[in-house]
Amino acid sequence: MKLLAGNSNKTLAEAVSAHLDVPLTKAQVKRFPDNEVWVTIDENVRGEDVFVIQSTSYPANDNLMELLICIDALKRASARRITAVLPYFGYARQDRKTGGRTPISAKLVANLITRAGADRVLTMDLHSGQIQGFFDIPTDNLQAAPLMAQDIKDHHGAKAASELLIVSPDVGGVVRALAVASRLNADLAIVDKRRSGPGKSEVANIIGDVSGRRLIMFDDIVDSAGTLCSAAQSLIDAGAAEVSAYVTHGVLSGAASERVKNSVLKELVITDSIEQPDPILNNEKIRRVSCAALLGEAIRRIANEESVSKLFD
């Protein structure tokens, strides 16, 4: 087995390497003066099972191109099998036509990764399950629910079960939130959110009694954090005692970090699927949990031809 890291999330790649006790493959992933990506693999990978760890987060196009060129370099170096490990799969929110003459970009990216030469894909908490079907190669979609549920137990376990309430911030995330609620034996509430445009939404209704409860919102992606913070405010207005949020992928673009800091949220917990700049790391309301062990164990199971789904039994 060999691990190759792109530049998108070196910290996570090093943590996965440490968990597996497998050193990162020596390689150079650089830029020409005109910003073209240049990749050189400095080790023999002929006949090897290679895992390329690269989130396609901001800058999404640069990181995606790095991934594709790394895969091509490995293919031409005669690697036996290439697995694209995408802790965060960019373009996942563009998974359907939202109107006339619009693309399905998630499918296009899946085609690019496949045609570049990847033999399989390992990712985590896809925005929608059907994206697995966009790939014509085996695709494992890991769930962050067990990881988050354990962290909730560790930090909220002292609270009475009757006080704790898991909240889905929209109707589309009910299945995801229910996976956490069932692990904690907690009740579930739903925020009825209506979108008026890309990145814009408003709370129309709250399904469930939140009065006096300690709420934990669970979602897959937080981008501008506007929707998350407005939902938290609506829940407090409805009588909630406190609101925390657990989100797998902290995209946190623009003024998102400042928005979280000034919101009624008690804390926002994200994984390290996306490498964060210092302003976000230093935000006292934002805490990270590592997904390195989860990714590492999945990689080990794939390399040993063992079941990945048993991780979530």
Determine whether the annotation assigns residue 25 to a binding site.
no
Determine whether the annotation assigns residue 173 to a binding site.
no
Any idea which residue has 């889905």 for tokens?
Answer: 168
Which residues, 6 or more positions from 17, have their beta carbon under 8 angstroms from its beta carbon? 3, 5, 23, 24
Determine whether the annotation assigns residue 284 to a binding site.
no
Determine whether the annotation assigns residue 136 to a binding site.
no
Q: Is 285 designated active site?
A: no
Alpha-carbon distances of 283 from 229, 262, 279, rounded to whole Å: 15, 11, 6
Determine whether the annotation assigns residue 54 to a binding site.
no
Determine whether the annotation assigns residue 93 to a binding site.
yes
Determine whether the annotation assigns residue 119 to a binding site.
no
Which residues, 6 or more positions from 7, have their beta carbon under 8 angstroms from its beta carbon? 29, 63, 66
Catalytic residue among 75, 97, 193, 266: 193
Determine whether the annotation assigns residue 195 to a binding site.
yes
Nearest alpha-carbon partner for 260 in 247, 273, 241, 274:
247
Determine whether the annotation assigns residue 170 to a binding site.
yes
How far apart are the C-alpha atoms of 278 and 91, rounded to whole Å? 24
Determine whether the annotation assigns residue 36 to a binding site.
yes
Determine whether the annotation assigns residue 42 to a binding site.
no
Determine whether the annotation assigns residue 102 to a binding site.
no
The annotation places the binding site for ATP at 34-36, 93-94
The annotation places the binding site for D-ribose 5-phosphate at 195, 219, 223-227
Q: Which active-site residues does the annotation give?
A: 193
The annotation places the binding site at 34-36, 93-94, 127, 170, 195, 219, 223-227
